[in-house]
Amino acid sequence: MYQRDQDKQKSLLAKAAIKYLEKGMVLGLGTGSTIDIFILELSKLENLFSSLKIVATSKISAKKARDNRMNVVAPDKYLELDICIDGADEVDRNLSMIKGGGGALLWEKIVAYRARKRIYLADESKQVTWLGAFPLPVEIIDYGHEWSAAAIEPLFKSVRLRKEATGNIIKTDSNNVIYDCLIKDEENTAALDSKLSEVPGVVTSGLFGQFIDILLTCRDGEVTEISSKENVFW
């Protein structure tokens, strides 16, 4: 897919997602390039966004929302999330996802788990038969992370510590590290996620198995809403 077409689809998806918002909602705000566009589109609707409370899934999304005069609040025991809107790096035919390319997988999972309704945005390039073309992020605590990485390495084709171009190790907003892991062909991702959770030091992975309530994606350049596996067309 050409970058121009992908950007156009992201814009269409962002505009479509706004239609699910109502005044006074508490919004779980995702992270990533599609959500950046969503923030810009929402910023044009002051009557709507000024009434929202927003819980962000990353410091960068929180800053972008605040820069656009939105009311960002911290997670709270008594705060009920009405809706979560986020992107995806891959979505398969079972509506399972890989997320975390932007490094926000832990906070994204925490926020999504709390939300009453979860809407994900994925352009056509994110539609896959099997998860795994996109490396799976695995978040690991900093202490002893090389030991934890060695423990999960047999589960994958390869694992690689995420670093900046300068060679500095990238840290998440929770001060953890991320290993990008290549999934084996046609892997049972539910079983894989279970195995990962057994390894001390592993915080979470970018596998999001049963999170989608509504998927907004594109078909022939037009927005399509999918709410069950029976509606998957790729």
Catalytic residues: 108
Contact 136, 230 (CB under 8 A): no
> Helix (H, G, I), strand (E, B), or coil: what is residue 156?
coil
User: What secondary structure letter does DSSP report for 173?
Assistant: T
d(CA 41, CA 11): 8
Please list the alpha-helical segments (H only) found in the chain: 3-18, 33-42, 46-49, 59-67, 105-114, 145-152, 189-197
Q: What are phi and psi of 231, to 5 degrees?
A: -95, -5
Strands of the sheet containing 97-98, edge to edge, are 90-91, 97-98, 207-208
Task: Round to whole Å and give the CA distance between 38 and 161.
Answer: 30
DSSP string of 24-38, one letter each residue: T-EEEE--SHHHHHH
| Residues 6 or more apart whose Cβ sits within 8 Å of residue 167 | none
Residue with token string 């929202």: 52
